[in-house]
Amino acid sequence: MEFRQAEMKDIPQIMEIIQAAQQYLKQEGIDQWQNNYPNPDSLKEDITNNNSYLIKDRDKIVATAAIIFGDDPTYSYIEGGKWISKGNYGVVHRAAVAETYKGQGIISKIFVQTYQLAAADGITSIRIDTHPNNKAMQRAIEKEGFKYCGIIYTEDDSKRFAYEKLI
């Protein structure tokens, strides 16, 4: 499997993964990603900013994530806890795995690659958040060794459980 930055030509395949994830979340009664986000415009912005990554199995994209290094405004306030570190950090956003590849450790591969990118830039922690009802993602995050830190709020004031891991 190949891990690489996404390109504009990848957007249709990435959107297939995102739309399947949106449908899954809807079926589970989770209102995460139900407001036309992520969408092609947000993917274009991630690609333009060199923040969009994917995992490819031969010619098929099987996972996607935005990996961003630098301050994330939604992480400036945390409720009911505190961040583990105070230094520079990376963030994983908009992570999704193709339906037929779920349960194969693909999300872990995204995290491993994120740690490598972070280490190359001298970054020592990774943060991530997810919907309070997204138990599958919470399990994946905790299995990876992230520690629950508290609650953050997205730009639209949606509540998210926030996690951090020192690397």
**Number of domains the chain contains:** 1
Q: What is the pLDDT of residues 41-65, one digit of tens each?
A: 999 999 999 999 999 999 999 999 9
The boundaries of the domain holding residue 76 are: 2-166
Q: Residues 123, 89: contact at Cβ < 8 Å?
A: yes
Position 125 scores a pLDDT of: 97
- 36 pLDDT higher than 90: no
Q: What is the pLDDT of residues 117-136, one digit of tens each?
A: 999 999 999 999 999 999 99
Q: Residues 5, 53: contact at Cβ < 8 Å?
A: yes
Position 35 scores a pLDDT of: 87
Residue 83: partners with Cβ closer than 8 Å, 6 or more residues away: 75, 89, 127, 149, 164
Two tokens at 83?
Answer: 């961040």
Q: Residue length, the chain?
A: 167
Q: What is the pLDDT of residues 99-114, one digit of tens each?
A: 999 999 999 999 999 9
CA 124-70-79 angle, 5° bins: 85
Q: Strands (DSSP E) along 20-158, which ranges?
A: 52-57, 60-69, 90-97, 125-130, 147-153
The residue-averaged pLDDT of 64-81 equals 96
CA-to-CA distance for 130 and 48, rounded, in angstroms? 24
Classify residue 110 by burial, with Cβ atoms within 10 Å: 0-12, 13-18, 19+: buried
CA-to-CA distance for 107 and 48, rounded, in angstroms? 23
- CATH number for 111: 3.40.630.30
pTM: 0.94
- 116 pLDDT higher than 90: yes
Position 121 scores a pLDDT of: 94
